[in-house]
Amino acid sequence: MAQPPDDLERHHTRPRDPFDPNFLPRHRWLSRKEAHLWRAGVHADQLSARQQAEENAEGSGHSHEDLSCEQLDMMFQHDLYCETVSLKYNRKDRSNRLLLSNQIKLINHKFKLNLLCAQIIFLLFLSVTYLSYIILLCYSGYYYTALGLLMFISLCVCWLEYKQPLLPQALI
């Protein structure tokens, strides 16, 4: 079986790409700008098209006096259209900011409501647990212990409500 040639042999037998950035084009001097563009891999047709565009741009400097009435009207209409588009997008930006601020407020209110619901559920669970414990103490004959515990719990809850609201001040 014949072995395929390795990359080095294939590289030397194949003709060179005329736009290879490793080799300068022959019989032509390049300016610094063209050399940079050529090194970047820009095709020669693009270089010539760019030169023609630059020459046309230099030679076609129009002033307002050279323009006809229709061209002036078209220019003013174009400027007016650009202004209306920018006004429209400014209005959209403001409405988007308002929508985002409303969504952030809604998220904050949901968080506060969820925190309050969690605190209420915890207090209900705690009160049911203590009430069942007090009822068990009453059935076992320790009336004074149950009454003292009930008074202690009610005083602690009243003190907590007086000193600290259910929600921290940062969330209100």
**One pLDDT digit (tens) per residue for the chain, 172 residues:** 455 554 444 444 445 555 555 555 555 566 777 776 666 666 666 667 777 777 766 655 555 566 677 777 777 777 777 777 777 777 777 777 888 888 899 999 999 899 888 888 888 887 888 788 778 877 887 777 777 777 788 788 777 777 766 555 555 5
What pLDDT was estimated at residue 1? Answer: 47
Largest CA distance in the chain: 116
Q: What is the pLDDT of residue 93?
A: 75
CA-CA distances (angstroms) from residue 75 to 23, 24, 68, 70, 163? 47, 45, 11, 9, 71
How many whole angstroms from its chain centre is CA 123?
41
> How is residue 15 annotated by DSSP?
P
| Structure tokens, 105 | 């407020």
pLDDT at 96: 79
Q: Write the pLDDT tens digit of every residue in 76-97.
A: 777 777 777 777 777 777 777 8
